[in-house]
Amino acid sequence: MNSDFLQQNVAKLPNTSDGLPSSCPLEPECVQLRFAPLLPRPSALNLAPMKTLLLLATTAATAIAAPPEPKFTAQDIDRAVKIGYGVAIADVDGDKLTDILLADARQIRWYKNPGKRGAEWPRYVIAEELTKNDNVCIAAQDIDGDGKCEVAIGAEWNPGDTEKSGAVFYLIPPADRTQKWEPVKFPSVEPTTHRMKWVKIGEKEWGLAVLPLHGRGNKNGEGESVRIAVYFKPINPRSEWFALTLSTGMHLTHNFNVNLGMLGNGLTIVGKEGRAVILINSERFDEINIATLTARIPKIIAAESSSGISEIRSGTLLKNPNKRTVNSGYGFGGNSRLSFDTTIEPMHGNSLVAYFTEGPLPNRRVLTDKLVQGHALACGDILGVGGDQIIVGWRGNVPPKEGDSVGLAVWTALDDNGEKWRETVIDKETACEDLALADLDGDGKLDIVAAGRATHNLRILWNDR
């Protein structure tokens, strides 16, 4: 992709008088459907013929079983992790098996999928000692369709230096991808590089979105706003990558989500002030001012805590009360969906929160406030029920304290309004710094990969449902 192409296609979406894009589907629907409370089952002896339909509907609803409890088998594939800053999932060598990549403190490693549970995962160091300070993040994605992933790295991690820290590398693979890869350092980046993801733009183009922790020159979260950069790979990856840089309107950010269910495709960036939104419409970007969104939907955008939000992911629940029958599985029958976002609040916080973008229930729901430095989050249907569950990981205090709680848990919605949730702790041995979901053994079930900071492990939790 060249700069002329981008200059022609990067444009503002049409705005309405209130500052939101005219295509933004934020207005509530005219009709909201919800369940009435279930009635006690009437006695069959007292039923009149006209009540038969009511009896059938009530019986069908009460016969629905709760979703099954998640079950996993743990396998540590590395017990020498220093910190385990970032986990990525992709096919590295083109054998059609999903491999695991890890950005550790001083090394970038990938672990070759052996094709079956319980077997050893050979590991290969593809880059090390890239900068004086630690690596901090990794992004892996097949962006050219050859069946093998491209890899980018964020490094030179020093959150106290908001002027000169931070580095971004693209790794050029050799023919034998088990050997060292060639690092290409980007000549100019925003300081305090912290998170990165490959983002699909249009049907074929990909960009590398890189988010710093602080704005340039910031002190105590004040000063210039954080600027997210989206880099585009040139034909020769050793040449300079064109960068589109956008202000977030925020001053201390932590992570971002690529899928934005409420507004369409885009990026949701979270940090101390709450959320900022950048839409991606085909090959055009439209930045939405955070203050406008805060005024329009304050419970969704504004942070409830002065310390903000550190993680965000999106999911859906299946929702159709009119088709709720025994044959609908575990109660999520029908084919309409209730979208939700889930966050960890405040920064590195103790609360797991769910936000709902439609329906009669309150928008914000705190699922737990017992996390000890929550630091990893994902949404996916690990139970195979048709709706997503929330997987959260917490790492304990940094540095560790005696008696710290660490681990991972699955949160499962017990109704299709997202009002009731069940917690299942699935791991108490991994001080979770980061996690990812993927079907690693081809059985159609999502497994979990988690990196442990204080516990120094890289663990697969095999899905046994």
Tell me the pLDDT of the chain (465 aa) as tens digits.
Answer: 444 433 333 333 233 333 323 333 222 222 222 222 222 223 333 333 333 333 333 333 333 468 999 999 999 999 999 999 999 999 999 999 999 999 999 999 999 999 999 999 999 999 999 999 999 999 999 999 999 999 999 999 999 999 999 999 999 999 999 999 999 999 989 999 999 999 987 778 899 999 999 999 988 878 888 999 999 999 999 999 998 888 788 888 999 988 654 445 678 888 888 887 776 654 445 544 443 333 332 233 444 555 688 999 999 998 753 343 333 333 333 457 888 889 999 889 899 999 886 655 447 899 999 999 999 999 999 999 999 999 999 999 988 888 889 999 999 999 888 889 999 999 999 999 999 999 999 999 999 999 999 999 999 999 999
The per-residue pLDDT for 304 is: 53
* Helices and strands (DSSP H and E) totals, the chain: 4, 28
The per-residue pLDDT for 324 is: 39
C-alpha pair distances (Å), 12 with each of 24, 231, 245, 288: 13, 19, 14, 10
The three-state DSSP-derived secondary structure of 286-332 is EEECHHHHHHHCHHHHECCCCCCCCEEEEEEEECCHHHCCHHHCCCC
The per-residue pLDDT for 63 is: 31
For residue range 225-247, what is the model confidence (pLDDT) as tens digits? 899 999 999 999 999 999 888 87
Q: Which tokens belong to 108?
A: 């970038």
pTM for this entry: 0.80
Whether omega for the bond prior to residue 346 falls within 30 degrees of 0, making it cis, is: yes
Q: Name the DSSP class of 143.
A: -
CA torsion, ordered 357, 330, 352, 368, to nearest 10 deg? 130
Tokens 């079956």 label which residue? Answer: 116
- For the beta carbon of residue 326, count every other beta carbon within 10 angstroms: 14
- What phi and psi values does residue 42 have, to the nearest 5 degrees? -70, 160
The per-residue pLDDT for 217 is: 93
The per-residue pLDDT for 359 is: 53
The per-residue pLDDT for 245 is: 86
The per-residue pLDDT for 155 is: 98
The per-residue pLDDT for 464 is: 97
For residue range 379-414, what is the model confidence (pLDDT) as tens digits? 999 999 999 999 999 999 988 888 889 999 999 999
